[in-house]
Amino acid sequence: MSAAPAQSPSEPNPLKVHIETLEKAFVGRAPFCSGSIPVAPEDILLFYGKDKNARRLDFTDASEEDLRHLADTCDPASFGVDNEDVMDDSYRKAGKLDIAHFVTTLDPVKCGLVEVIRNQFLEGPQVKASIRVERYKLNVYGREGFFKGHKDTPRSESMFGSLVVVLPTDHVGGALVFRENDQEWTFDSAHAVARQPGETLRLGYAVFYSDVEHAVTPVQAGYRVTLTYNLYFEDPSPVQGSVVLHDATYDKLYSALQAVLNDSTFIPEGGLLGFALRREYPVRVGKADLGTIEQFLKGSDAALLRACKALSLNASFKALVRQHATDPFSVTPTYPVLCNRIPDVKRFPQEDWDDYVCRKFGGKRVAMNVEGIGSWVQPDIKIHWVLSPRQSLTTSKQQYMAFGNEPTLTYVYAHVCLIIDLGPVGARSGTNN
């Protein structure tokens, strides 16, 4: 049998070309949407208090004295880190009222906010999903109030995002800043709710995935008052390959994957394609089975799985975990380990960490360009990464040390990968796992 002809240096590398195409197709919308909507005066009444003498506040004409009383009624807002409730005004300076101490006439469905979530934020089949909006907190940021970068604490697998409603008060500063993958976006909520005499009252809003890092910049004047809601998929169901609702990201991914299947020069002997999912997903501590993640996939992650199912590709969810080095000068090489579930990495031994994970959870060492790994350690498998998880591995420190709006760790965010087991030419598709 004659050998395959060598590839000319001038010819494009099919592996590189297809992976670059897939990478570009896997970029969906920004992880948030924001803006303002008109609101009726009767929808922005607030009743609050901690005793029998509740107070009524009408935001159509709230005075500085009214807002100061609201701020004085609030408790200092804490935040969660490493399973502890922390009070530190160098990280967060704000007031808060829990839901037991306030009610509001604002109805997110009636005023059109749920419709905004569907039309501007959700993608694909999830546009038609049943959404539950849970009232969570009232926050007041007075002069010099702020909150440094943090992620909202996950409360269940079905929680997909957060809604922040900015009530119409005159203030300066207090912008919401979102950060992800070296990108940064700013929503100037003060500008969104500002109005001239005679103009229609408007609410500011921001909807974002709960795993997105966000911060509140310092308030320079006035009071910034917000209502925060947790967003859940009420009755999620697994993504079906027969769904006819398409979106731009799905169409691009489907076409790019189909081109891979049709190219006999692309990994002709077969191999593994890896996608580090763009979003992080809440998993229950100690019961971190990846089986529940499918029904809660977001954005381009959901589009990717739909494309895989439509093409009958053998795709499965995996967790890629790596030991957090307690000794920065240690030369002990450890490979990231690919597992079928997310183990409780905090409880693992420091010595022979990757061996332990492989034995205990059936993991496989993955060949990656990771600093500190010597050539004498042999990986178990090689993955052709479309989106590399090098900067987003789950480690023993990352899993338990994160700034959030609550200290609870019933659920933690997990980094998940979708691995496609691509067969050799002539047997590219398979049974979906």
- CA distance linking residue 19 with residue 242, whole number of Å: 26
Q: Which residue has tokens 């169901």?
A: 237
The verdict on residue 4 lying in a domain is: no
pLDDT of res. 373: 44
Q: Which of 233, 250, 272 is the last residue of a domain?
A: 233
Residue 354 in 3-state DSSP? helix
pLDDT tens digits for range 403-426:
555 555 567 777 788 999 988 888
Q: Per the structure block, which two tokens stand in for 393?
A: 């591995």
Residue 136 in 3-state DSSP? strand
> Same structural domain for residues 210 and 84?
yes
- CA distance linking residue 308 with residue 300, whole number of Å: 12
The verdict on residue 210 lying in a domain is: yes
Contact 173, 428 (CB under 8 A): no
- Mean pLDDT over each residue of the chain, to the nearest integer: 81
**Strand-pair partners of 172:** 221
> Same structural domain for residues 164 and 57?
yes
> Same structural domain for residues 229 and 242?
no
Angle between helices 248-262 and 299-310 (to 10 degrees): 40
Of 66-80, 220-234, 275-289, 299-313, the least confident: 275-289
- Read off the pLDDT of each residue in 218-234 and give the average, rounded to a whole number: 95
Total domains in the chain come to: 2
Helix spans in 26-173 (H): 64-73, 113-116
**DSSP 8-state assignment for residue 42:** G
Range of the domain at 348: 14-28+238-422
The verdict on residue 308 lying in a domain is: yes
Answer with the residue of higher pLDDT: 379 or 50.
Answer: 50
Of 166-180, 192-206, 230-244, the least confident: 230-244
Q: Distances in Å between the alpha carbon of 134 and those of 101, 109, 236?
A: 15, 12, 16
Q: Per the structure block, which two tokens stand in for 185?
A: 């976006």
Q: Per the structure block, which two tokens stand in for 79?
A: 């935040």
The verdict on residue 8 lying in a domain is: no
Q: Which residue has tokens 């709710």?
A: 193
The verdict on residue 358 lying in a domain is: yes
The verdict on residue 220 lying in a domain is: yes
Q: Distances in Å between the alpha carbon of 230 and those of 56, 134, 212?
A: 24, 5, 14
pLDDT of res. 63: 95
DSSP string, 294-306: GGG--HHHHHHHH
- CA distance linking residue 242 with residue 100, whole number of Å: 45
pLDDT of res. 90: 84
The verdict on residue 7 lying in a domain is: no
pLDDT of res. 345: 56
The verdict on residue 23 lying in a domain is: yes
> Same structural domain for residues 201 and 251?
no
Q: Which helix (H) or strand (E) holds 333?
A: none
Q: What is the pTM of this model?
A: 0.78
**Strand stretches in 45-94, DSSP E:** 45-48, 55-58, 75-76, 79-81, 84-86, 92-93
> Same structural domain for residues 144 and 280?
no
- CA distance linking residue 31 with residue 46, whole number of Å: 30
- CA distance linking residue 334 with residue 369, whole number of Å: 12
Q: Per the structure block, which two tokens stand in for 292?
A: 């529940």
Q: How many helices (H) and strands (E) does the chain have?
A: 7, 28
> Same structural domain for residues 339 and 314?
yes
Contact 304, 324 (CB under 8 A): no
> Same structural domain for residues 160 and 274?
no
> Same structural domain for residues 279 and 205?
no
> Same structural domain for residues 210 and 305?
no
> Same structural domain for residues 333 and 361?
yes
pLDDT of res. 248: 81
Percent of the chain's residues with pLDDT above 70: 78
pLDDT of res. 428: 77
pLDDT of res. 401: 40
> Same structural domain for residues 88 and 224?
yes
Of 87-91, 205-209, 219-223, 258-262, the least confident: 87-91
- CA distance linking residue 159 with residue 278, whole number of Å: 16
pLDDT tens digits for range 266-307:
888 888 999 988 888 877 765 556 777 888 888 889 899 999
pLDDT-derived band at 229, boundaries 50, 70, 90: very high
pLDDT of res. 375: 47
Q: Give me the count of residues in the chain.
A: 433
Residue type, 347: R
pLDDT tens digits for range 322-361:
765 544 444 445 678 888 877 665 556 556 677 777 887 7
Q: Which of 171, 203, 233 is the last residue of a domain?
A: 233
pLDDT of res. 286: 56
Q: Rg for the chain (alpha carbons), in Å? A: 25
pLDDT-derived band at 172, boundaries 50, 70, 90: very high
pLDDT of res. 205: 97
**Strand stretches in 189-249, DSSP E:** 202-209, 213-216, 219-222, 224-233
pLDDT tens digits for range 189-212:
999 999 877 788 999 999 999 889
- Read off the pLDDT of each residue in 113-127 and give the average, rounded to a whole number: 87
- Read off the pLDDT of each residue in 234-251 and give the average, rounded to a whole number: 61
Terminal CA-CA length for the chain = 36
pLDDT-derived band at 29, boundaries 50, 70, 90: confident
CA angle, 5 then 7 then 12, to 5°? 145
> Same structural domain for residues 306 and 221?
no
- CA distance linking residue 187 with residue 191, whole number of Å: 9
pLDDT-derived band at 6, boundaries 50, 70, 90: low
Q: Is the pLDDT score of 392 beyond 70?
A: no
pLDDT-derived band at 45, boundaries 50, 70, 90: very high
Residue 12 in 3-state DSSP? coil
**Strand-pair partners of 366:** 381
Q: Per the structure block, which two tokens stand in for 343?
A: 């183990």
Q: Which of 233, 255, 276 is the last residue of a domain?
A: 233
pLDDT tens digits for range 49-64:
998 889 999 999 999 9
